[in-house]
Amino acid sequence: MYLQNGVRSQSIEYVDIKYCISSANSLNSISEEIINSLNSKNEQVRLLVNSVEIALVNILETLLEMIVFEDSNFIWSLSKPLLGFIIMNEQVFGRACKEIITQIKANNEFKEQLAACLENLMAGVCRNMKAKNREIFAKNFSLLRNLISGRNLA
């Protein structure tokens, strides 16, 4: 909850942006460690992840909402943990994207473009945290960033 609130706090004027970026970096490290442990078939980690599944889903939804709805000064920092949280739960990601599209106050053409960008975030990305996959995800994310940059969608 602390880290989830940390990435949200960028909209509060008195909060130092470093706090938000640190929260995003911490979430990135956590997601990377979880994915690496799950890939190594670590049963203890699998049980832990199952026990905090709701919190992980909430973090994924928060990251996505912050990226799409907030005019964030640190959107690239949010993209780092987003990859890991998508890998952990792609079904939730798909559902969250659809929900976000319905909340957008824009014309249908823009909504279709946004839906396509969100859907294409994982295009060509294998489901691990290796550097090559991060690079592919970053390229896909830049298309999303360019689309939403400077727009007020809330």
Q: How much is the mean pLDDT over the chain?
A: 87
For 56-113, what is each residue's pLDDT tens digit? 999 999 999 989 888 767 788 889 999 999 999 999 999 999 999 999 888 889 899 9
Nearest Cα residue to 60 out of 36, 39, 84, 38? 84
Please choose, from the candidates 118, 125, 110, 129, the residue with its C-alpha nearest in 3D space to the C-alpha of residue 30.
129
Q: Which of 11, 98, 13 is nearest to 61 (CA)?
A: 98
Q: What is the value of pTM for the model shown?
A: 0.86
Q: Name the strand (E) or helix (H) holding 137.
A: helix 131-148
Question: Where in the chain are the domains?
Answer: 2-148
